[in-house]
Amino acid sequence: MPTITKREPLIDPSFIHTELISYTHNDKQLQWERVKAHNTVHVLVYHVDHNCLLLVKQYRPPVDAFTIECCAGIIDNFHDKPPHLQALSIAAQEVYEELGYRTELEDFTALPPYIGSAGLTGSTCYPFYVEVHSDQDCGQQLTDTESIEIVYLDINNIDLVLANPLTDASTRYLLQWYQLNKGQ
């Protein structure tokens, strides 16, 4: 298990910013603290040849634990494309980087986007589902700052991941969507 060795305030952070929002409601002046963060993509990947779901296991310092999650990432580039294509392009990029599978944009099923954290960030989560085959495997393409282990989840064991308290809400949503729409 990694050890957290230091915590300190961020100065000029790369991915988040805080702000104080002042607003009026029912003639009352109110304020709300917000963490302004990027929108995100979350991708549930089904491996057709292995009849399993591909998830990722990685250490998440905010919860000081290893979590089991769907492939995911922040929407921080492809700004030259319309919003729905930005999310789709990032989804394909994340599947390639984190899991090592080359996919085509038309392979993805887009599910309805939702607000990930209404009270803290107000960011939008864009969920996707995609199926891959062994011949699309190119190997993980992780950056030097990532350490991700691929988890091959037997489709009969989805409830084990759903019961794990270290499974995030987006992964839970996508796994339950799979059970309702694709499960046997």
CATH of the domain at 102: 3.90.79.10
* Domain contains 30: no
Instruction: Return the pLDDT at 79.
Output: 75
List the domain range (segments joined by +) for residue 68. Answer: 36-181
| Cβ atoms 51, 85 nearer than 8 A | no
User: What confidence tens digit (pLDDT) does each residue in 32-70 have?
Assistant: 999 988 899 999 999 999 999 999 999 999 999 999 999
* Domain contains 27: no
Q: In this model, does residue 80 exceed pLDDT 90?
A: no
| Residue, of 52 and 80, whose pLDDT is higher | 52
Task: For the chain, give the longest Cα–Cα distance.
Answer: 62
* Domain contains 21: no
Stated pTM of the model: 0.91
User: What confidence tens digit (pLDDT) does each residue in 125-184 have?
Assistant: 999 999 999 999 998 887 777 789 999 999 999 999 999 999 999 999 999 999 999 976
* Domain contains 14: no
Instruction: Return the pLDDT at 73.
Output: 94
* Domain contains 4: no
Number of domains in the chain: 1
Instruction: Return the pLDDT at 162.
Output: 96
* Domain contains 146: yes
| Residue, of 116 and 173, whose pLDDT is higher | 173
Chain mean position to CA 147: 15
* Domain contains 118: yes
Region 112-122: what's the mean pLDDT?
91
Instruction: Return the pLDDT at 184.
Output: 61
Please provide residue 18's backbone torsions phi and psi, each rounded to the nearest 5 degrees. -105, 155
* Domain contains 67: yes
